Amino acid sequence: MRFYQIALPVFTVVYLLQVFVIQSWIQWKKTGVKPYVFGNTDSPHDYCGKVYKLMIVATWVSISFFSFFQDQYKFLLPFWYLEFDWLKHVGFGMGLTSFVWIIVAPEREVLEPFLVNP
């Protein structure tokens, strides 16, 4: 297996845990309010929640095919211009940068120099 076939599923699991599970738990402990609550109504909020869940499932299907079923991955019609190694490195670097930003963002003291009106 190549590096990205192993790193992509691991990074995605850690990223989604950090973004949704850990940050939600921290927010819930601080405020007592659940941050992500979707009902079964026809409101735009619930609709966006359902669509986002489908997008996460589709992302996992694509990652699974890329990492574990390489011979069937071509049937998902991957974009050939995204297969360059340098572009994969740039994308992975951007993902790591956003991951660090998500971890650091709740700490207001760290963000003070970047805020326009603190």
State the amino acid at position 8 in one-letter form.
L
For residue 28, what are the CA distances in angstroms to 87, 101, 104? 38, 20, 18
Q: Which residues of the chain have pLDDT under 70?
A: 1, 107-118
Q: Is 118 domain-assigned?
A: no
Using a cut of 0.75, tell me whether the model's pTM lies above it: no
Give the number of domains in the chain.
1
State the amino acid at position 49 in one-letter form.
G
Q: Is 10 domain-assigned?
A: yes
Q: Buried (b) or exposed (e) across 24-50, using 16+ Cβ within 10 A?
A: eeeeeeeeeeeeeeeeeeeeeeeeeee
Tell me what pLDDT residue 111 has.
62
Range of the domain at 94: 3-111
Query: Which residues, 6 or more positions from 59, have their beta carbon under 8 angstroms from its beta carbon?
Result: 12
Q: Is 117 domain-assigned?
A: no
Q: Is 116 domain-assigned?
A: no
Tell me what pLDDT residue 68 has.
92
Cite the beta strand spans of 17-90 per DSSP E.
none
Tell me what pLDDT residue 108 has.
65
Q: Is 98 domain-assigned?
A: yes
